[in-house]
Chains A and B, each alone.
Chain A
Amino acid sequence: MFRLIDRIGDFLAMLAAWMFFAIGGMILWEVFFRYVFTSPTIWAEELARFFQIWALYIAAASVLRQGSMIRIGLLIDRLGPRARAAAEIFSLAVVAAFSAVACWYGGWIALDSFEAGRMTGTMLNVPHWMTEIAIPLGFAILLLQALTQIVRAIRGEPIPGMNSHEPAITDEI
């Protein structure tokens, strides 16, 4: 069961990675058409934003599990193993609680748009729920992943990436 959640998360993260890649292609296409044929596309900008919404939130679970989220390790690195585990579980509980609320209310928003048949009213004019649903979905997986990690931490299993604040974590900023 836990493995399954891990694997779904990793698959979604890989999907997200190539979605960001595809965004690059779309914008490039747009720039190309605007300069070469002086006829901008109507879909590139909007689709790129839709991809960003989806990619960002479906990748969160895997990024959490791999311990890549930026956090401050100054204090917890100096704690003993028991206190450390407690801090870890508390942190994951905050993530889980936030995800639960975001998932619940995000779900309401998407459901409401679906029932009202609300459209984006933009160039593409797609149903609004098609992008809004990314938030409840993404945070549902993140919630599951956070709960999984909490159980692992209670059992005393090592959680990847949660052991110190390595400089690599602040990568690219």
Chain B
Amino acid sequence: MTVIFVLSLLLLLLFIGVPIAFALGGLGLGMLIFGGFSPLMAPQGLYSLADNFVLLAVPLFLLMSNILLKGGVGRDLFAAVQSWVGHWPGGLAVATIFSCGIFAAISGSSVATAATIGTVAIPEMEKRGYARRFILGLLAAGGTLGILIPPSIPMIVYGVIAEESIGALFLAGIGPGLLLIALFVGYSVLYAWLGPDYTPMPRAGWDERRRASIRALPTLGLAVLIVGGLYAGAFTPTEAAAVGFGGALILTSLVLRTMTREKLHAAVMDSMKTTVTILLILAGAKIFGKAITLYRIPQDISAAIVATFDTAGLFLLAVAAVLLVMGLVLEALSMLLIMVPVLYPSLAALGIDPIWFGVLFVILIECALITPPVGLNLYVVQAVGKARIGEVAAGVWPFILMMLGTVLAIYFLPAIAMYIPFKL
């Protein structure tokens, strides 16, 4: 009963338009006071949330990707990849997916990935006569790679709430990320072979390839350094982020020479704004999480889940269904912050590995956000591509099916995610 009441209140606050951070924090604080607990827990929660070394990775990864973005790295990457694969059937689409995949290694967000590659790739593909709905669907899906291939802001958040190793989560995202790249590329090639006509690109000359690659190579090197350093255990995620931040500064100001004082200031301000919005939501969620734990809500839900679902498969199916519904109105972070504290206690009882679950959860969240009729990432792609929501929705279906297929594949073959962090 309490659960339903609290959930309705939360939804009410969110729908009235209260910023998510304060809907969570305010409701949590109200519950503390109403339940006779000390309101001192609120400022204590705020303090301990920010007093966290692991979370420093959030501002630093954001700084890194914003500095690279302002330095025009997105365009360079796309140009380089295109010079190699542009002449394949569906070459531009393939180049788009590969670019998203590489950009994902320097950015922790699906929206930034879709937006950056989208602004370069959409006009090019339209010029070459690709169907609009295909282009838009491709980008909505390609963006997903941003949070699967490390670094990944949602995985940092998941790791912090669940108190799991963020390094392991990052590495566990690589396998599924590569699988999705392969599926998307395969689909693009097939689509181009069988589908409507488009103008193929001429094969780029070696000279052009060399020139484009040299410009993109340092960025690729930085991505390799970060992922490699995490993999080898040389850096913690926070240190990897700081190295990426330093690398991005050197790259854009000394190597590519595209950084100006104004651009740097803009990048620093953008990073601050995003960092503050994300960390405030985490702070609000911390207070909310504290309050619901004192009301024993996660424990009750966990008991109910264990009593209802006797297998991990059914449980995951239910989680997927709930996420799909939540994706209609909430964005990724809120879904994570509301669902994970509530579900986490059930994982051990059902014998589910929390790292494996984290990867599945992140893919399911992204599915939810691009599933029509309503999904917040659809709006983003729509805005970048200046399209109608219907067009995006029509193009995104094949990709959603591939993503759900990947979820199933990881479910039946956990090694896809778990091999790299634990076996290799």
Contacts and interface: CB of A to CB of B under 8 A. Distances in A.
Interface of B is mostly: helix
B243 A72 contact: no
B280 A87 contact: no
Contact of B246 (A24, A97, A166, A168): A24
Could you say which of B20, B238, B242, B245 has the most chain A C-beta atoms within 10 Å of its C-beta? B242
A56 interface: yes
A170 interface: yes
Nearest to B14: A72
A52 B271 CA distance: 13
B16 A91 contact: yes
Could you say which of A16, A24, A74, A136 has the most chain B C-beta atoms within 10 Å of its C-beta? A24
A17 B271 contact: yes
Interface string B264-296: 000011011111111111010000000000000
A74 B241 CA distance: 34
Interface string B130-160: 0000000000000000000000011000000
Given A173-B109, A173-B332, A70 B63 contact: no
A2 interface: no
A27 B54 CA distance: 12
B331 interface: yes
Size category, A interface = 35 or more
A173 B51 contact: no
Contacts of A148: none
Contact of B330 (A27, A72, A97): A72
Contacts of A49: 50-53, 56
B380 interface: yes
A172 B278 CA distance: 9
Contacts of A60: 276, 280
Size category, B interface = 35 or more
B360 to A, nearest CB: 19
A76 B47 contact: no
B390 interface: no
Contacts of B62: 172
A132 B109 CA distance: 31
Interface string A122-155: 0000000001100110000000000000000000
Interface in B205-264: 235, 238-239, 241-243, 245-246
Contact of B16 (A28, A68, A90): A90
A17 B283 CA distance: 18
Interface string A66-93: 1011111111100000000001101100
**A-B pairs, 4 with minimum CB distance:** A27-B242, A17-B272, A106-B43, A69-B19
8 contacts: A31-B242, A55-B272, A71-B23, A76-B16, A94-B13, A97-B26, A101-B29, A172-B111
